[in-house]
Amino acid sequence: MTSLSLGEIEALALKAARGAGYDWGLARETGRAVRWLWRHDQRGCAALVDWLDLRAGTDPALHRPAWQQAGLKADLFMCPVSAGCILSDHAHDLPDRLTLQEVTCPLLVLPFIADAAGLCGSGMIVTGPKLEAHLSADALNLSGDWSLVCATLEVSTQACVLTSEDHQHRANPSKDVRARLENWAHKTYAPATEASRLLGAGAGLSDND
Amino acid sequence: MTVIAPETSLHLRDPAVVMRLRRLGSLHASRLSFMRILTRRMACEHWRFERPAFAVNDTGTGHAVYTAHGPARSYSLVAFAHDLPDHLRSDRVIAEAWDATFALFDGVPTDEDIERLRQNVPHQEAGRVSERELTLSRANRSVRLWDHVVERLAQGRQPDADQLVRVGYLMRTTAVYGSGKFGAADRAQIAQRPEMSAPFQAEMLTVYLIRIFVRDLVEHHARLRGGDQAVPLADDLAAGLGIGNSTGLGMAPFLVNHPVLFNNWILARETAIARIRALPQASETEWRQFTTLFEQCQARLAHWQSDHPLQIAKLDGLRQDAGRIQARLTSETVLDGQPWNRLMIWAETALTEEGQEWLASLILEPYGALVDDLTDQMADDVADTVRLDGRMSVGTVKHLIRQSFAWALELNWQNTKACARAWYVSAEKLEPRLGERHDEPIADYEQPLAPARDATAAYEALAMWEDTTPVARFLMAHPDHRLAILRAQLVANAPYGEIRDNTIDADMLPIDMLRAKLSFFGAGQFDPRSDRWVRICMYAGAPYPQNLSTDNADFWVYAQASS
């Protein structure tokens, strides 16, 4: 029984992102994005843990994108979650075509583009090197190898909206990926101490009454 | 004919009054409670119950299956009985063994399902369940009462009624996990089913079935001890027993993490109260029904015990309130001129908060036809899909923050007392804890459970920007305020979504949050054991399946405790 519920996978992704240093709001967005990917039969956990491992020890400000000409660019390889949030937040102001320069683990940005599609009531096409994705709020059609580490993407609006397809409702990350995410998540837990055990939860330790 | 006022003209109580922790910590169950939603449905739809298996052996270990058949679907409690040494018995999340463990199976389990569950359910958090399971739970005995009941029944005698009433339950659950935890089915899998659409119905059904199992189990133990001499528990004594629940901090974050859902619960209750208050008159029958239930409730107060000084004080206040209400009802002869409204207005100055909320729940009772429909609005399956609206202006976001948190903007959050606490999760079995920020090294691990503080910080940052700026631009520069802004947008149409008190204050009582949630479950007999741990009883007085009917599916909560 190795499958996880979508609630579990979302919670794990959220905690892993937080453990890796994201603010709670972005951690929450990460959880939602990974859940969306699994719903659409994509291995969101592998993409996330690869990204968290890559960015470890670097200054987050370097991955944060800024608007530049016809798209978004970061000083160093672009954070897919930050980029995604910007796209979704600006859904109504996006140019018909825009470029995401060197976005890391680009699979992770797709749920946000889907959100933007939903907010505008349109579809979106995302293309990259031997990559293509057609998205609407709740539908995804991918071709190419989206497990690559970094790609420059073109995002454009299209009028036609994909119809919603059957969704997955469980997640099956590999043991290794899950363990790596749990490692990141573990950084959100306070080390247990005898004092905190006695005080923190209030109850005594034995209940025979 | 009773005319209901249109909703727009109803006067709902101010969230600034209702959403204070002291009042939330004084809430009482009502006819909108999740337990009663379930019992009403099961009676109305003539649910059928059976016990396909009872395989508990001579050492008191083994399993049992209890199946509830609704009109469209069946649900089965798979129960495991264990032989738990006393020194291992603990209500804490960090426990690793229990007297009994359970899963609610979505359907009727096969032998393979039961075997799979046997490998996992007794381990609880250390095991896994599948999407065929809806809940995972465990329970421990009330040791003294259990031993007393087994001993008496084994001797062919009934247990002492006073002892039963004093404790109220033979077993108490220490967690009931649902909604995708530990591998169980996500709520989305069941939310469209009519019988599961109201909140926590799977959990309520789980506890209802556990109660049946516990009765069977105690009788089994009595037979093991007494052989042919043993007798079953008398029906009236069994009816008075509920299933206890021991709730700690794990439940408190829920209200903060689900503001729209919490709003929907409170809004349903406040709307119900407002509908009744708007009634121009009460009939003799309705008034008599109310006064009868009041008297039964007042009598039941005598059995509500607690050792905790806070609760003792509240109970004293409530008993005095009951006396005041009784005097008022005796002198009240006028049943028009909005009698319920006049009663509630009187209560605002004459009664404690406990008394006011107790009365607020009671006035709903004669009017199921007018308010029970509100239970359809208590779920929330939408908030999680809401996206942040980047077009909203900085000025509007500030306005939204002021709506819930104007009081918080005035606080000095640097003050030691104001930020004394921090909620965190311990590496020890992931137990949620509440610590003292200034005394323990926990600040780095703080969970986002202080929305008032975070909203204030966001507000101060927003104040540096032009009001007309789209918040999307603000967020590019300040991603750290994303959660607070999302939350402000989320509760824009949820006036009762935010607790209007500081959840990290030095004097904050977590039991106020626990009680608020438990009151919506339908719990009674709140018995705090500390400021962050409370025991309650569920289904005490409820009919067992063989007696469940539309006549008793609602008012069993007022059944006289045996004495």
pLDDT at A197 over 80: no
Contacts of A172 in chain B (CB under 8 A): none
User: Which residue has 């709020």 as its token pair?
Assistant: A137
Q: Do A82 and B479 touch (CB under 8 A)?
A: yes
Q: Which residue has the higher pLDDT, B155 or A201?
A: B155
Task: List the beta strands (DSSP E) in B95-215.
Answer: 100-105, 133-141, 169-177
**Full DSSP string of B458-471:** HHHHHTTS-TTSBH
Separation between Cα atoms, residue B143 and residue A207, nearest integer Å: 9
Chain A hits for B181, CB-CB cut-off 8 Å, are 5, 7-8
Q: What is the ipTM of this complex?
A: 0.95
* A7 to B179: CB separation less than 8 angstroms, yes or no: yes
Nearest to A24 among B189, B470, B483 (CB): B483
Q: How confident is the model at residue A57 (pLDDT cuts 50, 70, 90)?
A: very high
The lowest-confidence range among A38-47, A186-195, B191-200, B540-549 is A186-195
Q: How confident is the model at residue A206 (pLDDT cuts 50, 70, 90)?
A: low
Q: Tell me, what's the pLDDT at B1?
A: 46
What's the pLDDT at B314? 92
CB contact under 8 A, B120 and A1: yes
In this predicted structure, the answer to whether residue A46 has a pLDDT above a threshold of 80 is: yes
Is this prediction's pTM over 0.80? yes
Task: Give A122-153 pLDDT, tens digit per residue.
Answer: 999 999 999 999 999 999 999 999 999 999 99
Q: Residue with structure tokens 């779920």?
A: B379
- Chain B residue numbers touching A209 (CB-CB < 8 A): 142-144
Closest residue by Cα to residue B153 from B214, B217, B222, B215:
B222
**Please, how many CA atoms are within 13 Å of residue A29, restricted to the half-sphere of its CB?**
32
| Residue-level pLDDT at B6 | 61
Q: Extract long-range pairs of B212-215: CB within 8 Å, 24+ residues apart.
A: B212/B49, B212/B51, B212/B66, B212/B544, B212/B545, B213/B64, B213/B66, B213/B77, B213/B79, B213/B100, B213/B102, B214/B100, B214/B139, B214/B170, B214/B171, B214/B241, B214/B243, B215/B170, B215/B241, B215/B544
Q: Which residue of A has its CA nearest to B428?
A: A192
DSSP state of B327: H
Distance CA A137, CA A161 (A): 9
**B390·A92 Cβ contact <8 A:** yes
Contact B140 A186 (CB under 8 A): no
What residues form DSSP beta bridges with A98? A155
Torsion of CA B31, B32, B34, B36, to 10 degrees: 30
Closest CA to B190 of B268, B230, B133: B133
**Three-class SS state of B228:** helix
* Low-confidence stretches of chain B (pLDDT beneath 50): 1, 561-563
The answer to whether residues B19 and B498 touch, using CB atoms and an 8 Å cutoff, is: yes
A29 or A200, higher pLDDT: A29
| B33 vs B13: CA distance, rounded Å | 19
**Subunit contact A169:B188, Cβ cutoff 8 A:** yes
Look at residue A4 in the predicted model and tell me its pLDDT. Answer: 97
The one-letter amino acid at B98: W
B130 touches chain A (CB under 8 A): yes
Mean pLDDT of chain A: 92
Residue-level pLDDT at A1: 47
Compute the average pLDDT of residues A163-176. 90
Question: Which pLDDT band, with edges at 50, 70 and 90, does A37 fall under?
Answer: very high
**DSSP assignment string, B241-285:** -EEEEEE-GGGHHHHHH-HHHHHHHHHHHHHHHHHHHT-SB--HH
